Structure 1
Amino acid sequence: MKDVDTGTITTKVPARLDRLPWSRWHWMIVIGLGTVWILDGLEVTIVGNLSAQLAKPGSGIDISQAQVAGTAAALYVAGACLGALFFGWLTDRFGRKKLFLVTLVVYLVATLMTAFSFDAWWFFLFRFMTGFGIGGEYAAINSAIDELIPSRHRGRIDIIINGSYWLGAAGGALLTVPLLNDLPVNIGWRIAFGLGVVLGVAILLVRRHVPESPRWLFIHGHGKEAEQLVGEIEEQVGGDLPEPKGSVTIHQRKSIGFVQIAHTMVARYPKRTILGLSLFVGQAFLYNAITFGYAQILSTFYKIDTHTGYYFAVIAIGNFLGPLLLGRLFDTVGRVPMISATYIGSGVLLLGTAWLFDQGMLNAVTLTACWCAVLFVASAGASSAYLTVSEIFPMETRAMAIAFFFAIGTAAGGIAGPLVFAGLVETGVPGDTALAFTIGAVIMIAAGIVELFLGVKAEQKGLEEIAAPLTAASVDTAA
């Protein structure tokens, strides 16, 4: 990269990116960056579906189903939280591209090592490391996507990309069925993890062509490089482009201190910080109440061990259809009404499911149908949590903000959740599992109420208009 400048520049780079029509170049960004959520979905689902198989004699690992669904899941999430914070800080400091390449490599190596697990401690270690890489992906990828996608498409694309997690989940669920039933108990689960590595390598090959964020470049002293890069993008997109509307004047800096980032989030945007925490905690608890223990629930209450993948594939498809069909409404109806509606609506549906389950009115099929309805609504809401925190804070803090909220919210729901919920399901008492559902539902509803009061109207707006960069001398959105 060229030498760093630290002067004051006025640039139209953000406006030039926002006025671009949707093109083949944008699809390359979506495929190269967004498909990582498919990997995450594949990872989590494979482990959930394999929990009963891994606990069987002859699996090659001396581990219980509760340890897979509880301890290993919690370690995966703990790794994701720490990875998000570590790589998030590096992403804001050293750029998006360097880190979204590094984090994918970390994921690939850790997943491959998981496939060679020979003892519980090895399995736990590399589940943690896999989460470490995935957590870094969330920070690096969401920040890059939002900075490269035009503002009028940002909400829909971001939500659908985050929702693509469930394509991986559906694929993982269906893949585990033949692997569990047609292969030896100590071989099938290893191949399942190996498939994740193959998909990750394919994504890495595409990702090499994704450029650095021009927004990151001009703020961090690479203004000429940012202008040149946007010019190349405009040539690839082609067509008659309208004049860019708006400019931003920046005092360039090589880096932004961690203390200033933290001060910005807590002192300058306290309401937005509360909002981000609420959304992440809410969705983490609701999802952990269902997804981390779903195989355990089917096994404990309905004696279904080897075909759980079929049930979860239905849930996963419902999860993906939610963002796919509702995503455009976040750009048209608006962020606040859609986020609050999806959070509160999914929480209410889960409360209804908890009551039906406690009354013994559900079997494996009808419970899966209820979960599908809940998560159709919840998935769009959960995806919007990532969208929200990636667009309501200044450019210099974007990756770190995503990492912070992901880590805090997911730690609360994703570490405590699996440990508490796995224990509740393990008792075999319907009322205990219904309690797990209720906890997740109530916290999700509370987050939706917070959105009603503190939500930010960010639809159709440029990132610099929603939150001016810390280094901005002026932002002109009407020029």
Structure 2
Amino acid sequence: MFTWYKRGTPIERRTFWGCFAGWGLDALDVQMFTLAIPAIIAAYGIDHTQAGAISAVTLISSALGGWLAGALSDKFGRVRTLQITILWFSAFTFLCAFAQTFPQLLVLKALQGFGFGGEWAAGAVLMAETIRPENRGKAMGAVQSAWAVGWGGAVLLYAAAFTWLPADTAWRVMFGVGLLPAILVLYVRRNLREPARIASDSNEPKVSMWRQVTQVFQPRVLKTTIIGAVLGTGAHGGYYAIMTWLPTFLSKERHLSVLNTGGYLAVVIIAFWCGCMASAYLLDRIGRRRNVALFAFCCIVTVLAYVMLPLSNLQMLVLGFPLGFFAAGIPASLGALFNELYPAEMRGTGVGFCYNFGRIASAGFPVLVGYMSHSMSLGSAIGIDAAIAYGLAMVAVLLLPETRGKLLRPTSPEQALEPINDAELALNRARSQR
């Protein structure tokens, strides 16, 4: 499983750790809000629908930020864009700690989202162009597992803050810690390098920013873009329907204390990490399409059982593992798949659009869960919304071509100097056609 890492070049390993840390710190910042929802509701006197609106606005802004950052990475470089987005989301997460009113928090969370979405887009393309084709799925799936690491850090911070501090102070302290990711920029500047550009890129005329952003709607890639956007919608819709409201479901409907809620979440988080690693292995083993379809189907079955069956607390604890495991498989697959669908000159834009359009469309799912919970249990609302979303993802991925082993150029600077023999080229073509 980890042989690829041992055999990787120094720049491959440094890029892996830079993106791993960035994605983990993203998760720390984002998951703090989902954990703090009950305290924020109490602090501002808002209802579930308004709390869901904060999540929705953040998702929409992160989608726009990811699309824009993807285009910027095509125009100005992957590494430079990565640095800007890290600084952006760190600064606005920190400022959320000082929001005095609900509208202020809404605006600051929206601005945070721009950087959050952009960081993933720039980092995903940087990884895809740096890692060798035969290891791309394993490496990018492993990077996605950093979300579980950051999520776990958020739960530990949540448990400590709400145990030792008053609720209205605790959630502000959590957001204040969100400034920490800015330190990562120092590592990125010193250790990561821009992937080599292929020769043909330098001879192409420069395009305007508007054309750069909209080139994924060209006729030759329009079908891919539409299906990719639907896939992103299903993947994100299911995930956010579950994870935005899971802490509230456990505390309000299952009546678990702060520490017991943290215990249940710990099982889901550990399972999420395991699911990412399993998906990383399967991506290069059975292919992108089969892997996404498999995990989507398992997600539907598991989430419906988790929130709708009359389970005991122990049974919920046990079922929390497959819930987190299967929820991880789809997002762990999207980075490799979307990068392999587009040519180099629009790769960042394509990845940023498909992955992040899903965030815009899926922004309605947390709001819808909150709205539906007025007429049914919160658990039922979560289950229905998540099942619809994952069903959409399963259908969409089967309409895309299999891209496993597809050769991407440019790659890392060291690999760019290596000749590609006919046998290697034929092998990669055969894999991509399976």
TM-score (norm 2): 0.86
Paired residues of 1:34 and 1:161 also in contact (CA < 8 A): yes
Q: Tell me the alpha carbon deviations over residues 37-63 of structure 1, each in whole angstroms, 9 at most, x when there is no partner.
A: 21222122211111222334xxxx424
- Cα distance in 2 for partners of 1:365, 1:319 equals 19
Specify the alignment match of 2:29 in structure 1: 43
Paired residues of 2:28 and 2:150 also in contact (CA < 8 A): yes
- Cα distance in 2 for partners of 1:35, 1:327 equals 17
Shift of the alpha carbon at 1:201? 2.9
Aligned with residue 289 of structure 2, among 322, 330, 336: 336
Q: Aligned with 2:403: secondary structure?
A: coil
Specify the alignment match of 1:422 in structure 2: 370
Identity of aligned residues (%): 23
Q: 1:398 and 2:351 equivalent?
A: no
**Paired amino acid for 2:118:** G
Specify the alignment match of 1:306 in structure 2: 258
Specify the alignment match of 1:52 in structure 2: 38
Aligned with residue 192 of structure 1, among 170, 174, 177: 174
Shift of the alpha carbon at 1:68? 6.6
Specify the alignment match of 2:403 in structure 1: 458
Q: Tell me the alpha carbon deviations over residues 263-287 of structure 1, each in whole angstroms, 9 at most, x when there is no partner.
A: 5545213442243123211111211
Name whichever structure is richer in helix by fraction: 2
Aligned with residue 378 of structure 1, among 324, 327, 338: 327
Give 5+ residue unaligned stretches, structure 2.
411-419, 426-434
Alignment of 1:339-354 (within 5 A): 339-354=292-307
Change (3 A) 1:426 1:297: farther
Specify the alignment match of 2:244 in structure 1: 292
**Paired amino acid for 1:459:** R
Change (3 A) 1:55 1:354: closer
Paired residues of 1:47 and 1:68 also in contact (CA < 8 A): no
**Paired amino acid for 2:158:** T
Specify the alignment match of 1:95 in structure 2: 77
Aligned with residue 100 of structure 2, among 103, 115, 118: 118
- Cα distance in 2 for partners of 1:292, 1:219 equals 44
Change (3 A) 1:212 1:220: farther
Shift of the alpha carbon at 1:296? 1.9
Specify the alignment match of 2:272 in structure 1: 319
Q: 1:78 and 2:60 equivalent?
A: yes
Q: Greater CA deviation, 97-106 or 380-389? A: 380-389
Paired residues of 1:31 and 1:206 also in contact (CA < 8 A): no
Change (3 A) 1:260 1:182: closer
Paired residues of 1:159 and 1:383 also in contact (CA < 8 A): yes
Specify the alignment match of 1:137 in structure 2: 119
Q: Aligned with 2:256: secondary structure?
A: coil
Change (3 A) 1:256 1:338: farther
- Cα distance in 1 for partners of 2:198, 2:104 equals 40
- Cα distance in 1 for partners of 2:279, 2:356 equals 26
Specify the alignment match of 2:393 in structure 1: 447
Change (3 A) 1:260 1:31: closer
**Paired amino acid for 1:147:** E
Shift of the alpha carbon at 1:476? 8.8
Alignment of 1:190-269 (within 5 A): 190-198=172-180, 200-216=181-197, 218=199, 220-221=201-202, 251-255=203-207, 258-259=210-211, 262=214, 264-269=216-221
- Cα distance in 2 for partners of 1:138, 1:355 equals 33
Specify the alignment match of 1:407 in structure 2: 356
Q: Aligned with 1:213: secondary structure?
A: coil
Change (3 A) 1:305 1:125: farther
**Paired amino acid for 2:36:** L
Q: Aligned with 2:373: secondary structure?
A: helix
Paired residues of 1:350 and 1:438 also in contact (CA < 8 A): no
Specify the alignment match of 1:177 in structure 2: 159
**Paired amino acid for 2:395:** I
Q: Tell me the alpha carbon deviations over residues 142-180 of structure 1, each in whole angstroms, 9 at most, x when there is no partner.
A: 111111111111111111212321211111012211200
Paired residues of 1:46 and 1:172 also in contact (CA < 8 A): yes
- Cα distance in 2 for partners of 1:190, 1:278 equals 36
**Paired amino acid for 2:356:** A
Specify the alignment match of 1:146 in structure 2: 128
Q: 1:437 and 2:383 equivalent?
A: yes
Q: Tell me the alpha carbon deviations over residues 302-329 of structure 1, each in whole angstroms, 9 at most, x when there is no partner.
A: 2235333332222111111101133112
- Cα distance in 2 for partners of 1:319, 1:325 equals 10
**Paired amino acid for 1:448:** M
Which structure would you say has the larger Rg?
1
Specify the alignment match of 2:229 in structure 1: 277
Specify the alignment match of 1:468 in structure 2: none
Q: 1:29 and 2:11 equivalent?
A: no
**Paired amino acid for 1:51:** I
Q: Tell me the alpha carbon deviations over residues 422-445 of structure 1, each in whole angstroms, 9 at most, x when there is no partner.
A: 222355x33x63243123213312
Paired residues of 2:280 and 2:332 also in contact (CA < 8 A): no
Change (3 A) 1:434 1:272: same
Paired residues of 2:85 and 2:118 also in contact (CA < 8 A): yes
**Paired amino acid for 2:323:** V
Paired residues of 1:51 and 1:68 also in contact (CA < 8 A): no
- Cα distance in 2 for partners of 1:300, 1:201 equals 35
Aligned with residue 366 of structure 1, among 311, 315, 318: 315
Change (3 A) 1:267 1:382: same
Specify the alignment match of 2:432 in structure 1: none
- Cα distance in 1 for partners of 2:49, 2:124 equals 31
Q: Aligned with 2:120: secondary structure?
A: helix
- Cα distance in 2 for partners of 1:167, 1:67 equals 29
* Count of matched residue pairs: 410
Q: Greater CA deviation, 254-263 or 291-300? A: 254-263
Change (3 A) 1:116 1:355: closer
Q: Aligned with 1:46: secondary structure?
A: helix
Specify the alignment match of 1:168 in structure 2: 150
Shift of the alpha carbon at 1:397? 1.0
